[in-house]
Amino acid sequence: MNEEAKKKKINRLTLKEVEKKIQEVQEKMGGLTSSFARHLLKRKEQLSGADNAGNT
């Protein structure tokens, strides 16, 4: 089950999970230039936009 949680698709992650993954990527890879990091940032933007759209 733990392995299944590791393989969760980016588009299924919550905002909190995305932020945690971004932090891990910065620490392990030394930046956010990888394809994985860019996808995480894009997902964070989508989730943040969805949250903000509901509040207006």
The model carries a pTM of: 0.76
The domain segmentation of the chain, as residue ranges, is: 12-55
Given this model, what pLDDT does residue 43 score?
Answer: 96
- Please state, in angstroms and rounded to a whole number, the distance separating the CA atoms of residues 35 and 43: 12
Q: What is the pLDDT of residues 1-20, one digit of tens each?
A: 455 556 789 999 999 999 99
Higher per-residue confidence, 50 vs 4: 50
